[in-house]
Amino acid sequence: MILSKRVALGGVQLDEIHERIVVQSVDAGVPHEEIQAVNRMGGFGQRVTGQHWETLDVVVTYGIDVPKEDMATRRQILEAVNSWALRKGWLTVNFLPNRRMWVEKVILPSAGSLWDWTNSFSITFRSYGVPFWQDETATQVTNQNITNGRVWIEVPGQFRTVANVTFRNISGMPIQNITVNAGGSVMALNGINLGGSETLTIDHTNDGLLRITAGSRNVYGCRAPASADDLYLDPGSRAIDISTTRAGRLTVAVFGRYA
Alpha carbons 182 and 229: distance in angstroms, whole number: 12
Least confident of 33-47, 48-62, 127-141, 186-200: 33-47
What is the percentage of the chain residues whose pLDDT exceeds 90?
A: 83
Alpha carbons 168 and 202: distance in angstroms, whole number: 12
Q: Is the pLDDT of residue 1 over 60?
A: no
Between strands 133-135 and 257-258, the pairing is antiparallel
- As a dihedral over the C-alpha atoms of residue 98, residue 4, residue 108, residue 69, rounded to 10 degrees, the angle is -160
State residue 144's pLDDT score: 98
State residue 113's pLDDT score: 66
Mean pLDDT value of segment 12-24: 95
Q: Determine how many CB atoms are found less than 10 A away from the CB of residue 133.
A: 28
Question: 132 or 1, which is more confident?
Answer: 132
Which residues neighbour 44 within 8 Å (Cβ) at sequence distance 6 or greater?
none
Q: Determine how many CB atoms are found less than 10 A away from the CB of residue 251.
A: 19
- Global model pTM greater than 0.85: yes
B/e letters for 39-77, b = 16+ CB within 10 Å, e = fewer, are: eeeeeeeeeeeeeebebbbbebbbebebeeeeeeebeeb
As a whole number, the mean pLDDT across the chain is 94
CB 105 within 8 A of CB 126: yes
State residue 3's pLDDT score: 63
CB 242 within 8 A of CB 118: no
Q: Which parts of the chain fold into alpha helices (H)? A: 71-85
